[in-house]
Amino acid sequence: MDKPIGVFDSGIGGLTVVKELIRLLPCEDLVYFGDTARVPYGVKSRDTIIKFSLENTLFLLQQNVKMIVIACNTSSSLALPVIRRHFKIPIIGVILPGAKEAVYATKNGRVGVIGTRATINSGAYEQEIKRLDNRIKVYSQSCPMFVPIVEEGWVSDEIALRVAQKYLAPLKGKDIDTLILGCTHYPLLKPKIQAIMGKGVRLIDSAQQVAQEVRQVLIQEGLVSKNKKRPTREFFVSDEVAIFANVASRFLGEKLGKVKRAQHV
């Protein structure tokens, strides 16, 4: 079907999901919206996150999308159930795909989750994991400083290592064998997180899992785009375009097409 997939995030980070979608579904048209005027969501209240997420969903529906991917872990944790109640098209969040993969991956039944404060306080990952297998022990840790560190481009610096060591120290003592990177930004810190947690801990990148889930839903619902030679990719933000475009290519791993300013916020 020749309609685009809509993706939204609180800002830039959701491009880690777009990157995986492009890799797995290269023929699909995409419309991305990053709420750069109101980022970060990870420190905001449930009501505010739901309000912003509903507005972002309406904006994507105006772009005539066939399904919506909530790339933001914070929005997925707090707003997905509410949004699903209001709209008919398929809407996918990042929590369930990441939780499923963790349940599948763990051998010793001990799983760690890291994310923003709002995500961790919501208990969303823990609930999904327990729903899938209630014998699994879940250990959660919020890492709020990871987001600004990644956006500054300091992922390879000493400061990233120090901050990661501090946040991950409590998890290191819990004998986990699987760790969910429950935030759009954290895949960029993978090498540091892996070095600290050790090779025995499998890192679950929810961006990769969500792309798999999107593919499945497209197939199930008969929404796959066929044989598109030149898929379109549109990027919208709610604040200054130039600031976004600079940092964005780091998340996407390639140069972005034209970025436009959305007027709904």
Strands of the sheet with 67-70, listed across from one edge: 91-92, 67-70, 5-9, 30-34, 233-237, 259-261
Of these, 4, 40, 98, 112, which contacts ligand DGL (CB under 6 A)? Answer: 40
* Of 10, 56, 142, 208, the one binding ligand DGL by CB under 6 A: 10
Whose Cβ is closer to ligand DGL: residue 181's or residue 223's?
Answer: 181
Restricting to residues 130-169, name those near ligand DGL by CB under 6 A.
147
Site for ligand DGL in 68-87 (CB under 6 A): 72-74
Beta strands in 13-118 (DSSP E): 30-34, 67-70, 91-92, 110-115
Q: Which is nearer to ligand DGL, 33 or 41 (CB)?
A: 41
Three-state DSSP at 91 gives strand
Does residue 103 contact residue 204 with C-beta atoms inside 8 Å? no
Residue from 6, 42, 93, 98 that binds ligand DGL (CB under 6 A)?
42
CB of 144 to ligand DGL, least distance (A): 8
Contacts of 207 (CB under 8 A, 6+ apart): 16, 17, 19, 20, 71, 94, 184, 187
**Pairing relation of β-strands 202-205 and 91-92?**
unpaired
Q: Does the footprint of ligand DGL cover residue 13 (CB under 6 A)?
A: yes
- Taking the complex as a whole, the smallest distance from the CB of residue 78 to ligand DGL amounts, in Å, to 10
What are the beta bridge partners of residue 237? 34, 261
Looking at residue 4, the DSSP 8-state letter turns out to be: P
Judged by CB under 6 A, the chain residues 93 through 122 that form the site for ligand DGL are: 116, 119
CB of 74 to ligand DGL, least distance (A): 4
Of 122, 184, 208, 225, the one binding ligand DGL by CB under 6 A: 184
Please return the burial class of 85, using the count of CB atoms within 10 Å of its CB with bins 0-12, 13-18 and 19+: exposed
Catalytic residue among 183, 189, 237, 259: 183
Q: Is 39 in the site for ligand DGL (CB under 6 A)?
A: yes
Tokens of 155: 């992922």
- Contacts of 219-224 with CB under 8 Å at 24 or more apart are 221/67, 221/90, 222/1, 223/1, 223/3, 223/66, 223/67, 223/90, 224/1, 224/28
Q: Least distance from C-beta 75 to ligand DGL, angstroms?
A: 7
Q: What angle do CA 125, 77, 108 make, to 5 degrees?
A: 5
Binding flag, residue 209, ligand DGL (CB under 6 A): no
Tokens of 255: 């140069």
Q: Which of 84, 107, 110, 108 is nearest to 95 (CA)?
A: 84
16 binds ligand DGL (CB under 6 A): no
Segment interacting with ligand DGL (CB under 6 A) among 39-47, 132-140, 167-175, 233-241: 39-47
Indicate whether 208 belongs to the interface with ligand DGL (CB under 6 A): no
Minimum CB distance to ligand DGL, residue 42 (Å): 3
Annotated active-site residue 27? The verdict is no
Active site residues: 72, 183
| Interface with ligand DGL (CB under 6 A) | 9-11, 13, 39-42, 72-74, 116, 119, 147, 183-185
